[in-house]
C-alpha cells in the first residue's frame, strides 16, 4: 500500500509536468491544442485520484488545502459526459495548482520524517 508521502509525490510530479508543458503556451494556444488540452486534463485526473487516496488523517491535519475541490475536479473530468470546460482546466493547471505547490512541498517534507520513522 502506498503512503501519503508517495501520493503527494505523484501530485507534485504532475504539477511539475504541467508547469513545464504549459509555461511557453498562451491560453488561446492551449484552447486550440488537443494534445495540450487532453494531457492537462489527464494530469488533473491523476492529481484528483491521488488526492482521493490520501488518508483522512493527513487531510484533516492540513485543512488549508482544498482537498475536496481537487478531488471534485477529477470527478467532473471523469464523469463530465464528454463536456469539459478547458478554460477551467487551464486556470487550474496554470494558476490554482502552482499556487498550492509550495504548501504541498512543505507538507511532503513534514510527512517525510513520519514516513521514514514508520
Confidence of residue 80 (pLDDT cuts 50, 70, 90): low
Kindly write down the DSSP assignment for every residue of 18-58, as one continuous string: HHHHHTT--HHHHHT-HHHHHHHHHHHHHHHHHHHHS-HHH
Predicted local confidence at residue 79, as pLDDT:
66
Which of 38, 42, 79, 108 is the catalytic position? 79
Q: How far is it, in rounded angstroms, from Cα 87 to Cα 115?
A: 37
Mean of pLDDT over the chain: 91
Is 36 an active-site residue?
Answer: no
Predicted local confidence at residue 102, as pLDDT:
98
What pLDDT digit, counting tens, does each position of 45-71 carry?
A: 999 999 999 999 999 999 999 999 998
- The least confident of 17-31, 49-63, 103-117 is 103-117
Is 42 an active-site residue?
Answer: no
Amino acid at each position: 500500500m502506498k503512503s501519503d508521502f508517495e501520493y503527494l509525490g505523484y501530485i507534485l510530479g504532475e504539477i511539475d509536468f504541467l508547469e513545464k508543458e504549459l509555461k511557453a503556451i498562451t491560453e488561446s494556444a492551449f484552447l486550440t491544442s488537443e494534445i495540450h488540452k487532453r494531457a492537462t486534463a489527464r494530469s488533473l485526473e491523476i492529481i484528483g485520484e491521488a488526492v482521493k487516496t490520501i488518508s483522512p488523517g493527513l487531510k484533516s491535519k492540513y485543512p488549508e488545502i482544498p482537498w475536496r475541490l481537487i478531488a471534485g475536479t477529477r470527478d467532473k473530468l471523469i464523469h463530465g459526459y464528454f463536456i469539459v470546460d478547458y478554460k477551467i482546466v487551464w486556470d487550474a493547471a496554470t494558476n490554482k495548482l502552482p499556487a498550492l505547490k509550495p504548501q504541498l512541498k512543505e507538507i511532503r517534507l513534514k510527512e517525510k520524517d513520519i514516513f521514514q520513522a514508520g
